[in-house]
């Protein structure tokens, strides 16, 4: 892939083309498509923020949020905003990890964290639809429709490259080997995503990792 075809450069080009479309009558037909993409970007961002809010409620630790060309990361010096160069993560992804190694507690916390995105999308869909119903606003109706689409796509138990929110929640509810593997991966990620060297890793996490081999 060309080094120029990055999320950042593509977003800048998209913004420039949108501004030209606003000023040039011959290109105004593209505005509907452009505004739809901006609206969908906003809807996905709000979905990921739902994960963030529910993750904080579950007492998870924030690691990073990637949306479009932006990567918001927690560092030793606070929050850092960097460029996202990975197209696979352009659609939005958030990482939060537990602060403890209690598997049963993590199971409850992760279900809450995972459900945060779909719940937020559903609430926003109902809110926007209510406004569109009383104001007859097409803008709010399409905003509601976008949230419904994101809710349905993420709540269905599918594997789309990554497990959807619905699939993760279903695995945790059903229990069994798949749920155990998921919980072990979540638990051990606490150390893998930390800035510590392997010698400094929490021994409780290491014991969990050893028990799976």
Structure tokens at 121: 């999308």
- The length of the chain is 213
Give the residue-averaged pLDDT of 60-78: 89
Judge contact between 146 and 40, C-beta under 8 A: yes
> Which residues lie below 8 Å from residue 183, measured CB to CB, with a gap of 6+?
103, 106, 107, 110, 172
> Which residues lie below 8 Å from residue 80, measured CB to CB, with a gap of 6+?
72, 73, 74
Beta-carbon-side half-sphere exposure of residue 109 (alpha carbons within 13 Å): 23
pLDDT bin (cut points 50, 70, 90) of residue 120 is very high
Judge contact between 148 and 125, C-beta under 8 A: yes
pLDDT 10s digits, 188-211: 766 666 555 665 556 665 565 555
More confident of the two residues 42 and 88? 42
Global pTM reads: 0.84
């Amino acid at each position: 892939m060309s080094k120029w075809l990055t999320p950042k450069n593509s977003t800048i080009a998209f913004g420039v083309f949108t501004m030209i479309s606003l000023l040039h009558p011959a290109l105004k037909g593209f505005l509907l498509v452009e505004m739809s993409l901006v609206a969908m970007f906003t809807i996905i961002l709000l979905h990921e923020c739902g994960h963030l809010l529910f993750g904080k409620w579950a007492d998870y630790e924030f690691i990073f949020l990637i949306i479009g060309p932006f990567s918001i990361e927690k560092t030793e010096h606070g929050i850092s905003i960097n460029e996202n160069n990975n197209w696979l993560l352009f659609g939005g992804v958030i990482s939060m990890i537990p602060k403890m190694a209690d598997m049963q507690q993590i199971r409850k916390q992760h279900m809450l964290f995972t459900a945060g995105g779909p719940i937020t999308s559903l609430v926003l869909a109902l809110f926007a639809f209510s406004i569109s119903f009383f104001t007859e606003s097409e803008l709010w109706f399409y905003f509601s429709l976008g949230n419904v689409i994101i809710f349905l796509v993420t709540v269905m138990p599918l594997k789309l490259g990554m497990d959807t929110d619905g699939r993760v929640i279903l695995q945790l509810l059903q229990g069994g080997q798949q749920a155990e593997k998921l919980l072990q991966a979540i638990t051990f990620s606490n150390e893998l995503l930390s800035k510590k060297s392997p010698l400094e890793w929490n021994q409780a996490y290491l014991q969990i990792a050893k028990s799976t081999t």
